[in-house]
Structure 1
Amino acid sequence: MNKLDIVREVSKVTCAGVEAKDAVEVFIKTIKDALKRGEKVTIQGFGSFYVKVKGPYLARNPKTGELINKEGKKVVKFRPSPEILE
């Protein structure tokens, strides 16, 4: 399922296609903005999105085998609600 499929499902239940598209866009933007601020986003009965900071690490260049120091980075994680896994 992709964003267009979600828009179609929302438009079946609530409103016209353009309004559904706008609603989905606002929903996604709201989650992205909260994650950029470092906030955890929890949707009851669905799960939680949060940002995890990974520290620096060593990686290996597959062509040369040389070890490379990689900087830490932020990654988005998702933890599903137990209800979703039933």
Structure 2
Amino acid sequence: MNKLSLIKTLKIEAGLSKPEAALVVKIFFDEMADTLASGNRVEVRGFCSFFVKKYRAYTGRNPKTGKKVKIKSKKLPFFKCGTELKKRVDP
């Protein structure tokens, strides 16, 4: 499923026009992204949760040359599957 098929399903199931459904999907994903960007967690009970992991700076190696490279600290979003979703995928 991609964003366009999600919009199409929302249009059919909720009886919305395509622009209205697209707006709902845009608002949903924008709000999730803004929440994660501010360092907060997004949780949809039983389905999944998204959170941000923080990594410290470290010294790594370039695999081609073997030279040491400084890696800056960073934050990355992570997805954790909920119990109900696990049961639906693997009954």
Q: 2:40 maps to which residue?
A: 39
TM-score normalized by the length of structure 1:
0.92
| Structure 1 runs of 4+ with >2 Å offset | none
Match of 1:50 in 2: 51
Instruction: Give the gaps of 5 or more residues in structure 2.
Output: none
Which residue pairs with 1:66 in the alignment?
A: 67
Instruction: Encode CA deviations 1:29-68: one digit per residue, 9 max, x unaligned.
Output: 0101111111111111211111110111232213211121
Which position in structure 2 is the counterpart of 1:18? Answer: 19
Moved more, 21-30 or 4-13: 4-13
Q: Which amino acid aligns with 1:66?
A: K
Consecutive unaligned residues in structure 1, runs of 5 or more: none
When the two structures are superposed, what TM-score results if normalisation uses the length of structure 2? 0.88
Q: C-alpha offsets along residues 8-48 of structure 1, whole Å, 9 cap, x if unaligned?
A: 11111111111000000000001011111111111112111
Identity %, equivalent residues: 34
Q: 1:76 is paired with a residue of what secondary structure?
A: strand
Question: 1:8 and 2:8 equivalent?
Answer: yes
| Cα distance in 1 for residues equivalent to 2:62 and 2:53 | 25
Moved more, 55-64 or 4-13: 55-64
Amino acid at match of 1:82: T
